[in-house]
């Protein structure tokens, strides 16, 4: 792998978390370890992640199923594997219904876990995207977006990001230097009916914060994604 895939391991057992992380690192992956739900939320908002391994019993008030649900509200593409000691039909059905891509029960063979991870990452590269109806490259100011590889470059430097942030960047690039309302951003990036105001602003804010972490030199004083009070945002590409 030229660029390491980043795997987030959300598991409250320190010994198991370390065991999984050690084996993934040996396979050439980069690993972000989380030991509870709050830690996972915090690190997901600040880091690009290729895949999440998620335990259901996290030893706090926020269970793994709730974490799964929250992630899926923000990102419908990110591969998520549940690794749990709960081996019931009810739990598995609920997990897949909430949006997990795979469910493996404990105890497990680490070789099987790694093979499943590699297979999931291969599938995640096959995101359906109609390349024939869009330009291959979008360039504006210091940013360049490649629709074939789903990559964003700033001043020639590649910036890895998840599908939702890439879609938001594409929308911003196409509509630079315009005031974009929360409703317009949601309609064009999520392609879903607009939710209630609280959910709308929360979904957009979380992804804007993540995008700023990726592209801004000074996140506290952003120059590219500029807030417009009570209206939305302006994207300034220069």
Please give the average per-residue pLDDT across 59-70, as a whole number: 84
pLDDT at 140: 67
Q: pLDDT category, 124, cuts 50, 70, 90? A: low
Which residue ranges form the domains of the chain, and what is each CATH number?
Answer: 6-124 (3.40.50.2300), 131-235 (1.10.10.10)
Strands 232-235 and 179-181, by their bridges, are: antiparallel
- What CA–CA distance (Å, rounded) separates 76 from 128? 13
Closest CA to 41 of 17, 15, 61, 16: 61
pLDDT tens per residue, range 179-219? 888 888 888 887 777 888 888 888 888 889 989 999 999 88
Model pTM greater than 0.85? Answer: no
232 Rama sector, left if φ>0, alpha if ψ -120 to 50, beta otherwise: left
pLDDT tens per residue, range 149-160? 778 889 888 888
Q: In a 10 Å sphere around its CB, with 0-12 CB exposed, 13-18 middle and 19+ buried, how is residue 50 labelled?
A: buried
- What CA–CA distance (Å, rounded) separates 62 from 142? 41
């Amino acid at each position: 792998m030229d660029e390491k895939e980043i795997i987030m391991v959300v598991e409250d057992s320190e010994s198991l978390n370390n065991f999984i992380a050690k084996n993934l690192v040996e396979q050439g992956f980069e690993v972000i370890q989380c030991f509870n739900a709050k830690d996972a939320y915090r690190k997901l908002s600040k880091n690009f992640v290729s895949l999440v391994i998620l335990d259901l019993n996290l030893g706090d008030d926020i269970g793994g199923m709730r974490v799964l649900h929250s992630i899926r509200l923000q990102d419908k593409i990110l591969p998520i594997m549940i690794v749990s000691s709960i081996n019931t039909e009810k739990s598995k059905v609920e997990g897949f219904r909430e949006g997990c891509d795979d469910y493996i029960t404990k105890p497990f063979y680490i070789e099987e876990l790694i093979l499943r991870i590699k297979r999931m990452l291969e599938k995640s590269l096959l995101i359906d995207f109609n390349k024939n109806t869009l330009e291959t490259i979008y360039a504006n100011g210091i940013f360049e977006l490649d629709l074939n590889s789903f990559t964003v470059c700033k001043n020639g430097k590649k910036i890895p990001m998840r599908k939702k942030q890439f879609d938001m960047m594409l929308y911003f690039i196409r509509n630079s230097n315009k005031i974009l309302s929360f409703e317009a951003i949601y309609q064009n990036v999520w392609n879903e009916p607009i939710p209630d105001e609280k959910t709308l602003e929360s979904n957009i804010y979380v992804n804007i914060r993540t995008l700023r972490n990726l592209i801004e030199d000074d996140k506290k004083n952003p120059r590219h994604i500029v807030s417009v009070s009570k209206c939305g945002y302006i994207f300034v590409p220069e």
